[in-house]
């Protein structure tokens, strides 16, 4: 029976893993409920994405005609009791909170196959990460208003005895009416829980926005509380204002050092640009203090401070960041630079100056006119000239007119090249062929982005979706591992997902893992992996070196992601 792609609405074979027209991945869940609504009442409209635990779909209530969001536990972890417990806990915690700045849970239920789903309000808008990617940094007034709303939502969450633990730009939705909605209580916990680590010892949340106590930097007997969310919201606010987080790192260990160091000389407090009002710098310094006792005591207090600073801004301060650029990026060459009105005159003048300097240098370096010099241009054009005597009946000017058409490059390059002609002419040192310069070779493409374990959620999701499109329909793979143990593990897991392992397959999984036992239950793991298709790399994976006590070994950690790539 044909199946309609939820994105482009083309009719395709329902056994396809991705639409051949638009590349949209087709999940087993979509195929199962293509002809009948979920639980008899929710019709799938489109797939919105994949969260930490579940697949997320936009649906329509067939009886009420309203739009909702259905979140279904991911099939790769459906057999995990801990995953089910977390999924159910998210739903139960969400029912405690009713606030305009927190997404509303409408329903929770099970399905005949044993999986569970929850139904959330549909929010028409974008999250803050998407807004920053599309429009750059926020003006201070707008950033403060959005942060204040988020703080009010946190106040309601904390009053319900819940700590969100995953406040980040991705989890702050902004509606068309500029109203903030906090989403995703998937890693939230009640206040009696004292850390952010699961039973398996794996950190949950986003390291870039984690507070020191979120990372376990607590004295004996202390527990994480709502001030951890205040710190995370402070990090988000800083990023909204400057285009970059206050602390940046390339590994989980570096993030731990950034967020947990209490020594200012080791990791100084981030400072806003001078164009920002001083009151905003003071507010952020308090929200981002590594000592939680010096932060705002409650999210409500933080919200009031944000609102007070916003009211105190004058017009010039309110728009200060409009003239700032987002996180620095390499400036492209001439076409983009010339498009900037303010810099175009500078670039033009600089180019004219360079051209004039080249002409002047050529004139100054040109030797006094003597008969042998007439042949200098000829040595520029030909491959190798042994200083021939000039023809007596052809003047120098005539020689230049004859040779000039052979030079394809623009005149300035001809002049510059001529200055490098061998002098004196008697020196028999061969020069490189000064033929017209060929176009600059296209630089080799940089390596594709890697899925980084514990890294940025949006970036990792983009890597997964790209790999899913490239590997759509894959049923046979080859496995190349640096250890027979890893190879055996990966083969077993792939077979469980109905993937045939064969040495002659076009798709090859390369895995290099390391596991070191440090004693007293401590271990260190790391891994790199890639997937090639017909010799071209289509997916890369990194598990940076880290210590742990209980949890997945390198192959198991990679296999969890591999299940999503080859789904």
User: Which positions are catalytic?
Assistant: 166
What would you measure as the largest C-alpha separation in the chain, in angstroms? 102
Sequence-ordered list of residues with C-beta below 8 angstroms from that of 529, at least 6 positions apart, any chain: 509, 510, 511, 512, 513, 540, 541, 558
DSSP code of 133?
H
Q: If we measure between CA atoms, which residue out of 458, 476, 453 comes closest to residue 531?
A: 476
Q: Which two tokens stand for residue 46?
A: 């489109």
d(CA 419, CA 470): 52
Query: In the beta sheet, which residues pair with residue 59?
Result: 44, 68
Q: Which two tokens stand for residue 516?
A: 């070191």
In contact, 207 and 159? CB cutoff 8 Å: no
Q: How many CB atoms lie within 10 A of CB 280?
A: 23
Helix, strand, coil shares, percent, the chain, to 5? 40, 20, 45
Helices and strands (H, E) in the chain, number of each type: 17, 18
Q: Could you give phi then psi for residue 549, rounded to 5 degrees? A: -110, -55
In contact, 122 and 60? CB cutoff 8 Å: no
In contact, 203 and 454? CB cutoff 8 Å: yes
d(CA 61, CA 41): 6
The DSSP string of 14-55 is TT-SB-TTT--B--HHHHHTSSS-BTTTEEEEEEEEE-SSEE
Q: If we measure between CA atoms, which residue out of 351, 330, 359 comes closest to residue 419?
A: 359
Please identify which residue in the block is written with the tokens 């993030």.
Answer: 255
Q: How many CB atoms lie within 10 A of CB 167?
A: 31
The CA angle 57-61-65, to the nearest 5 degrees, is 125
The DSSP string of 264-296 is TTTSPPP---TTS-HHHHHHHHHHT-SSGGGS-
In contact, 97 and 160? CB cutoff 8 Å: yes
Whether the CA torsion 42, 44, 49, 50 is positive or negative: it is: positive
């Amino acid at each position: 029976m044909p199946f309609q792609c939820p994105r482009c609405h083309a009719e395709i074979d329902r056994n396809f893993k991705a639409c051949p027209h638009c590349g949209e991945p087709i999940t087993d869940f979509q195929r199962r409920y293509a002809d009948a609504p979920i639980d008899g009442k929710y019709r799938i409209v489109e797939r919105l994405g994949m969260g930490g635990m579940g697949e997320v779909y936009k649906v329509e209530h067939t009886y009420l005609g309203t739009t909702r969001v259905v979140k279904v536990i991911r099939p790769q972890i459906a057999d995990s009791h801990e995953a089910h417990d977390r999924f159910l806990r998210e739903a139960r915690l969400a029912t405690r909170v009713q606030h305009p700045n927190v997404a509303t849970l409408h329903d929770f239920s099970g399905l005949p196959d044993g999986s569970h789903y929850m139904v959330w309000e549909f929010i028409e808008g974008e999250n803050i990460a998407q807004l920053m990617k599309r429009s750059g940094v926020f003006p201070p007034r707008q950033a403060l208003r959005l942060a204040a709303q988020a703080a009010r939502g946190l106040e309601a969450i904390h009053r319900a005895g819940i700590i969100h633990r995953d406040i980040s730009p991705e989890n702050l939705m902004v509606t068309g009416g500029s109203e903030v909605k906090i989403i995703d209580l998937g890693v939230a916990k009640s206040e009696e829980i004292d850390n952010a680590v699961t039973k398996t010892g794996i950190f949950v949340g986003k390291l870039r926005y984690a507070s020191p106590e979120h990372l376990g930097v607590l004295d004996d007997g202390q527990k994480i509380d709502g001030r951890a969310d205040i710190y995370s919201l402070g990090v988000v606010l800083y990023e909204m204002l400057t285009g970059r987080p206050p602390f940046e790192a390339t590994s989980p260990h570096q993030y731990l050092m950034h967020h947990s160091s209490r020594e200012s000389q080791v990791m100084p407090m981030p400072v806003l640009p001078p164009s920002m009002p001083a009151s905003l710098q003071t507010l952020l310094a308090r929200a981002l203090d590594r000592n939680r006792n010096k932060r705002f005591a409650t999210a409500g207090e933080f919200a009031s401070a944000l609102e007070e600073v916003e009211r105190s801004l004058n017009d010039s301060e309110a728009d200060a960041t409009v003239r700032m650029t987002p996180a620095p990026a390499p400036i492209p060459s001439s076409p983009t630079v010339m498009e900037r009105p303010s810099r175009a005159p500078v670039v033009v003048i600089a180019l004219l100056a360079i051209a004039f300097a080249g002409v002047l240098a050529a004139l100054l370096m040109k030797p006094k006119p003597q008969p042998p010099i007439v042949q200098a241009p000829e040595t520029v054009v030909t491959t190798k000239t042994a200083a021939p005597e000039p023809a007596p009946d052809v003047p120098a000017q005539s020689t230049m007119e004859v040779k000039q058409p052979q030079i394809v490059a623009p005149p300035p390059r001809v002049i510059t090249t001529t200055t490098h002609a061998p002098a004196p002419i008697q020196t028999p040192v061969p020069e490189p062929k000064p033929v017209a310069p060929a176009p600059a070779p296209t630089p080799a493409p940089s390596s594709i982005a890697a899925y980084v374990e514990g890294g940025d959620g949006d970036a990792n999701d983009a890597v997964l979706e790209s790999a899913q499109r490239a590997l759509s329909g894959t049923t046979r793979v080859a496995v190349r591992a640096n250890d027979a143990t890893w190879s055996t593990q990966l083969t077993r897991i792939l077979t469980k997902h109905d993937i045939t392992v064969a040495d002659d397959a076009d798709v090859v999984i390369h895995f290099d893992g390391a596991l070191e036992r440090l004693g007293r239950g401590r271990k260190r793991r790391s891994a790199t992996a890639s997937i090639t298709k017909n010799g071209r790399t289509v997916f890369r994976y990194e598990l940076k070196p880290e210590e742990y006590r209980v949890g997945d070994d390198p192959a198991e950690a990679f296999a969890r992601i591999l299940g999503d790539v080859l789904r």
